[in-house]
Amino acid sequence: MQRLNEALTEGYLRMRSYLDDEEGQGLIEYGLIIALIAIVVIVLLSTIGSSLNSQFSKIASAVQ
């Protein structure tokens, strides 16, 4: 009975340490932040892309 109790206690402690590990949570948060920044950049470039293209075309023709 003592061995079973020790085995269950050890299993519980291993499970508890696994659940308390927050290392993966930080990586997920960084991934979400990077994805959000990428989405914002894509939306901004899509929104102002055509006006930027015309401005660069004006500059290029003025330089030539």
Per domain, the residue ranges of the chain are: 24-64
Check residue 60 and report its DSSP letter: H
Q: What is the pLDDT of residues 31-63, one digit of tens each?
A: 899 999 999 999 988 888 888 888 889 999 998
- CA 58/CA 64 separation, integer angstroms: 10
- CA 39/CA 47 separation, integer angstroms: 12
- CA 9/CA 11 separation, integer angstroms: 5
Q: What is the pLDDT of residues 5-17, one digit of tens each?
A: 788 888 888 777 7
